[in-house]
Amino acid sequence: MDPLGEKYPSLNPYHYVANSPLNRIDLDGRIDTENTIEKLTERSKNLKQQAGEHREQAKKDAKEAIKTSGGFNLGLGFKFKLGPFKIKIEGSFAKIQATTDLGGQGDIKVSEGMSITGTIGNVTVGFAAGEYQSLITGEEGTTNVPFFKMTKGDFWTSASEVGYSVTAGVVNFGQSVDIKKAGSAIANELAGQAKTAAANTIDLYLGIQNLTKYF
């Protein structure tokens, strides 16, 4: 489907550059522009600027996507089996968790609450509820979070993250990758490359145009 089809109802995908190939040019397959040196130069400049913005966003997203966490949890809990199911109920009254990403942005939260999880095989579903306060920003709030994980040893994946976590007594440590942020980083990098390629195509065309002046 043509994303700009509604903007140009009188044209169809077979009307290359509005049937005017001598006067117009289409460099990215989306929209044609007047084939003038000034407009093409400006188009190339804008594409390079947009490519740079995409790449900067890709770097930012990549740094925010990977997080390292560690902390400890003091609480009570118990587990029991019900046929093939394993049920675990835990309550924490002093959980401190620190997180940081590759960009150095982090937080330390103190929380209390409880969680209920059910596990069959490698699949875990559960619900966590509690209150927290950030020691960095002072933010306070409550959490009521249903969650779903698939675990294999220390490694796990959920709908939004993938990572690993190690627990020894009350101490835990782990790393995770935010799938949405990682996807955004990849998408922005690809968009940056595509716009750089389009700008290079314009520059090549302009270079050829300049050369033809001498023949």
Q: Give per-residue pLDDT as tens, 2-53.
A: 556 566 666 666 666 666 665 676 666 666 666 677 778 888 999 999 999 9
Q: Give per-residue pLDDT as tens, 53-69.
A: 999 999 999 999 999 99
Task: Please tell me the pTM assigned to this model.
Answer: 0.72
User: Would you put residue 212 in left (φ > 0), alpha (ψ -120 to 50) or beta?
Assistant: alpha
Q: Give per-residue pLDDT as tens, 103-162.
A: 889 999 999 999 999 999 899 999 999 999 999 999 999 988 888 999 998 999 998 999
Instruction: Determine how many CB atoms are found less than 10 A away from the CB of residue 143.
Output: 12
Amino acid at 77: G
Q: Identify the DSSP state of 9.
A: T
Q: Can you tell me the mean pLDDT for 184-197?
A: 96
Q: Which long-range contacts (CB under 8 A, 24 or more apart) does 78-84 make?
A: 84/120, 84/121
Q: Identify the DSSP state of 12.
A: -
